[in-house]
Amino acid sequence: MLPFLRKKAQRVLGIDISSTAVKLLELSRAGDRYRVDSYGVEPLPADAVVEKNINDVEAVGDAIARLVSRTRPGVKQAAVAVAGSAVITKVIEMDASLSEDDMETQIKMEADQYIPFPLDEVRMDFQVMGPVEGNPDRAEVLLAASRTENVEMRTDALEIGGLQDKFVDVEAYSMERAFQLVQPHLPNSEELETVAVFDIGATMTTLNVLHEGRTAYTREQLFGGKQLTEEIQRRYGISMEEAGLAKKTGELPDDYESEVLQPFKEAVVQQVNRSLQFFYGSTQFNEVDHILLAGGSAAIEGLPELIQEKIGAGCSVANPFVDMALSNKVSGSAIAADAPALMIACGLALRSFEE
């Protein structure tokens, strides 16, 4: 089974494995308030992860080990996620009177109808979503499956890093969970039915459209902050490492903003607009009420305002930690700077508190 839907909650670390870094987040809760107990970000070697596929399990595992050693979290069980493109999901209808064991048996017997791979090559799980509208004798069941290697590469990396796998989730569901913490702080939050979340990573941008808080659409495209880093490297004749550092510190020549940064921001706007048009063209939706930016490039100064101006929808930068307390080993300024890039790690860590 792919253990991301039905296992009971237990304190876990959120471990987000992206193309350029591993992010760790540990949460606890007192009453209704969450607390960040530990967090950290550890860079990955080039090409250890390419387009969300792990190429070098040892390198990822070693990065996790360094992260665990530095952050010293209080638990060793962890949740990781596979990318949406690596998961097949389908909502099917089943007899509501069936037990979970009977549902599992029936799903396995009928799996070839839903999954285009041999059953021995996939990990599978399901969750009962509720009764079919207008027909309480039938239940809507969410079926999810991913190739075994997608799961095992991540669980093997956790093991190398000294952690135990508790959950293997899906990035879209993790984003959905973290979004519940962000939504109350968005402008006119009670009126927002459809929100487009753009997670702008180093090499990949993922669009998750949430309608009434639930994932309605996901799409990945090759575009990310690495393009800005490469342009800095090319224009100023420095190494990729130096370009990445300069991008963070802002220590660049006077023409950087007008000649390099502004064209990149315009390119982001084009990607956002193109993705939204694709979304409108392939669904019944024709507008979004708000755009939320996540990922490492989300916090570029002036980007939300430019998107709002060009697209016409309100735009904000994601920060799921606004109402959270921080342990004395967590820097408030550091986690605020990293917050947009920690949405998936946060969504994974929130698995600790599900009933």
**3-state class of 303 per DSSP?**
helix
What the block records as the tokens of 245 is: 């550092």
pLDDT of res. 7: 53
DSSP string of 204-253, one letter each residue:
EEEEEEEETTEEEEEEEEE--THHHHHHHHHHHT--HHHHHHHHHH----
Tens-place pLDDT, residues 167-214:
899 999 899 999 999 999 999 999 999 999 999 999 999 999 999 998
Tens-place pLDDT, residues 56-87:
999 999 999 999 999 999 999 999 999 877 88
Burial of 120-140, coded b for 16+ CB within 10 Å and e otherwise, reads eebbbbbebeeebeeeeeebb
Beta bridge partners of 126: 143
Rg, C-alpha atoms of the chain: 21
Per-residue pLDDT of the chain (355 residues; tens, 9 = 90+): 454 454 555 789 999 999 899 999 999 998 889 999 999 999 999 889 988 889 999 999 999 999 999 999 999 999 999 987 788 888 889 999 999 889 989 988 888 888 887 778 888 888 888 898 889 899 988 888 888 888 999 999 999 999 999 989 999 989 999 999 999 999 999 999 999 999 999 999 999 999 999 899 999 999 999 999 999 999 999 998 889 888 888 888 999 999 999 999 999 999 999 999 999 999 999 999 999 999 999 989 999 999 999 999 999 999 999 999 999 999 999 999 999 999 999 999 999 997 6
